[in-house]
Structure 1
Amino acid sequence: MAFVSAVAFFTAARRAPALCARSSAFVAPAARRSTLPRRAFAAAAAPPTTMTIKEGDTLPVDGVKLMTLGADGPSPVDIAPYFKGKKTVVFAIPGCFTSTCQKSHFPSFAGDNAAALKAKGVDEIVCVAVNDPFVCDAFAKVMNTPEITLLGDGNAAWVKSMGLEADLGAFGGIRSSRWSMYVDDGVVKKAFLEGGPGYTNISGGAHMIENL
């Protein structure tokens, strides 16, 4: 009888880890589901892998073009002649019609802030968005800010060439991080790089005004 009891005890002890393993396997999927949004958000907020552009550099121009929508349809913009011989404030948004871009970042370069930048000698204010020229044109019409020129970097080729891309994953793929620059004759004189899609006003209009 004692022998049977001992066998039963050791059998139950050997089965216990397996039961715990099955129990953990049952709980784990729910735990994974609960962390998916957090992981997805972390991936969306991840900074670009490299940030190569810096003050004193010339804007990259080889093999990349920006786009605009004219009367005859989409037109390429050659970067070197576009920025040549003038003082430009250029900033980037991850995409048109996204909430932070539309409500905070883009408007920070319009209105009174645009006037203040022009008073400091800025010839043109340019916004670059990782969108096709049709979306950029629609956004410009909605925002009604003729003081800002909106150019499309549809496949993010230009921001990649500067190391300023941000991978938003399922939220939008490769986009631009947020940044702003003061460019004189194609040379970066001031660079304010957020390092990701988040907005902390470092790349905003007021910060640019304060540092010119």
Structure 2
Amino acid sequence: MIEINQTLPSHTFNLLTNEGMTTPTTAELFANKKVVLFAVPGAFTPTCSASHLPGFVVHFDALKEKGVDSVICLSVNDAFVMKSWGDSANAENITMLADGDGAFTKALGLGMETGVFGGYRSQRYAMLVENQTVTQLWLEEPKAFTVSSAESVLANI
């Protein structure tokens, strides 16, 4: 599992924007930036849709005031699902990043097998990444939602 003071693994993502499909790299998303990355087990799932993503939408400006350059939501879903979910949640300020095959999540060591629920998914977490290096990591216990909430992240950066 990735740890504090480690550099994020190199990866190329799929990101669907209003302008079309893009393929940003880890370097493009995180180099020379202070980024809050939070990951969810699945788009449109109950806790993710009712609390996790909406918290970051609501607290986006407060995070910016603390020097955060961008907020990224990551899930092992495809780019079309992530775009649709972001649109439905009015998350225009959040980068809705797809880890379609889970390769980035696996490289981080932060995945889990959920069986018939959905197969391989991300664990729920948030991290602060500064210039591609993890400076803080808040990993949730299974089925919990406390330390990775926007409110908790905001209080701890």
* TM-score (structure 1 length as normaliser): 0.71
Q: 2:5 aligns with which of 45, 51, 56?
A: 56
SS of alignment partner, residue 89 of structure 1: strand
CA distance in 2, matches of 1:70, 1:141: 10
1:165 paired residue number: 111
Does 2:12 align with 1:65? yes
C-alpha separation between the residues in 2 aligned to 1:116 and 1:73? Answer: 29
Q: Distance in 2 between matches of 1:159 and 1:56?
A: 18
Choose 1 or 2 for highest CA Rg. Answer: 1
Number of aligned residues: 157
Regions of 4+ moved over 6 Å? none
Unaligned 5+ residue runs, structure 2? Answer: none
| AA in 2 matched with 1:100 | T
Deviation at 1:118, TM superposition (A): 0.8
Match runs of 1:37-52 below 5 Å = 52=1
- Name the structure where helix makes up a greater proportion of residues: 1
Partner secondary structure for residue 121 of structure 1: coil
Task: Decide whether the 8 Å contact of 1:65 with 1:153 is kept in 2.
Answer: no
Please give the per-residue CA displacement for 1:146-189, whole angstroms capped at 9, x wherever unaligned.
12110100111101001000111000000000010011110111
Shift of 1:80: 1.7
- Identity, % of aligned pairs? 38
2:84 counterpart of 1:138: yes
Change (3 A) 1:209 1:71: closer
Between the two structures, name the one with larger relative contact order (CA 8 Å, sep ≥ 6).
2
Residue 90 of structure 1: SS of its match in structure 2?
A: strand
**In structure 2, what is the equivalent of residue 193 of structure 1?**
139
Q: Render the CA deviation track for 1:61-91: whole Å, top value 9, x for unaligned.
A: 1xx3221114564322211222001110010
Cα distance in 2, alignment partners of residues 73 and 148 from structure 1:
16
* Structure 1: runs of 5+ lacking an equivalent: 1-51
TM-score by length of 2: 0.94
Q: Conserved in 1, the CA contact under 8 Å of 2:17 and 2:83? A: no
Structure 2 match to 1:114: 60
Computed over aligned residues only, the root mean square deviation of the Cα atoms, in angstroms, reads 1.3
Please state which structure has a larger fraction of its residues in strand.
2
Q: CA deviation at 1:191?
A: 0.4
| Displacement of 1:194 | 1.3
Conserved in 2, the CA contact under 8 Å of 1:100 and 1:199? no
In the TM superposition, what is the alpha-carbon distance from 1:200 to its structure 2 partner? 2.3
Structure 1 residue identity aligned to 2:85: F
